[in-house]
Amino acid sequence: MCLAIPARVVALKDDDMATVEIGGVQKNISVSLVEGIEVDDYVIVHTGFALSKLDPEEAQQTLELFAEMSALVEEASSR
């Protein structure tokens, strides 16, 4: 199973690279597969590459769902 995660672009770098933030963690990724990326855009990240741009509202909904799933898993494991 593959998991692609929404991330916010916090900095653009040389050579089609960018720094993104995922859950408070910053990571350098390639943005060579997606045109027109700007700081504060949301992108779908998989294995170090931005695969597509994501609408900010859709990104927020997805991140909220991930947070809910994480809370449920934590709750279930504490029983």
Q: What is the pTM of this model?
A: 0.81
Residue 68, token pair as written in the block: 């809910």
Q: Beta partners for 22?
A: 25
**Number of domains comprising the chain:** 1
Report the candidate in 28, 50, 32 with the shortest Cα–Cα distance to residue 41.
Answer: 50
> Please, what is the Cα angle at 57 between 10 and 73, to 5 degrees?
85
**What is the extent of the structural domain holding 36?**
5-77
CB 29 within 8 A of CB 48: yes
3-state secondary structure of 36: coil
Q: What is the CATH number of the domain that holds 56?
A: 2.30.30.140
What tens-digit pLDDT sequence spans the chain (79 residues)? Answer: 567 789 999 999 999 999 999 889 999 999 999 999 999 999 999 999 999 999 999 888 888 888 898 888 888 888 7
